[in-house]
Amino acid sequence: MPQHIKRLIGAFAVVIILFLVLQSFLRPTSFGKLGHYRADAIQENKMKALHFAGSDKCTKCHEEMKTDKEVGFHAQLQCEACHGPGLKHAMYADKFKDGELPDSLLLHKPGSRKECAVCHQLNAARVKIVFDTINNSMIKQIDPMKHNLVDKRNFAKLVCIECHNPHQP
């Protein structure tokens, strides 16, 4: 074999060995376990913090709401859909007595025209087939700018929950 070929083979061998040594140091251990990615990343994604607790946790303390809501049009609506994520509220609720929960842990009580209109505003796309299988009904729609508007100056004060019970509308 000519000498320049031997040198070339030697050079290649050095580079390849150097690459393999460097790779063994730099490559994360779980890389390639399940595919061309770090298998540990699945676990890292699973470790992220929760924010929503689920209605089962809510009704542990607020039992009366469950029985209230069961028969109403909002039976299929989850508590946190209106009140916001409540895992922190649920976690700390046991440590405080009734009515002692600090303001930062209290959940939002919606009921303004703007908040209810998110679902109930009149919209051509919202005329839908029957989806509420429990009550066999379609969603009620109103124009929040006109609905039951006695006095225009009192618009902001006329909130939906004044007349409607949101848990049993």
Question: Would you say 40 or 63 has its CB closer to another protein?
Answer: 40
CA distance 106 to 71: 26
Chain residues 61-80 in contact with another protein, contact rule CB under 8 A: 74, 76-78, 80
Sequence letter at residue 92:
Y
- Tell which one of 139, 142, 158, 161 touches another protein (CB under 8 A): 139
Nearer to another protein, 129 or 163 (CB): 129
Q: How far is the CB of 136 from another protein (least distance, A)?
A: 14
Residue closer to another protein, measured from CB, 84 or 111: 84
Q: Are 118 and 99 in contact, with CB atoms under 8 Å apart?
A: no
Site string for another protein, 18-57 (x = CB under 8 A): ----------x--x--xxxxx--xx-xxxxxxxxx-x---
- Two tokens at 134? 């429990």
Q: What is the dihedral of CA 126, 132, 138, 141, to 10 degrees?
A: -60
Which of residues 84, 110, 111, 169 is near another protein by CB under 8 A?
Answer: 84
* Cα 166 from Cα 42, distance rounded (Å): 40
Q: Is 131 in the site for another protein (CB under 8 A)?
A: yes
State the amino acid at position 58 in one-letter form: C
The pair of structure tokens assigned to 168 is: 């049993």
Name the DSSP letter for residue 137.
B
Q: Smallest distance, Å, CB 62 to another protein?
A: 17
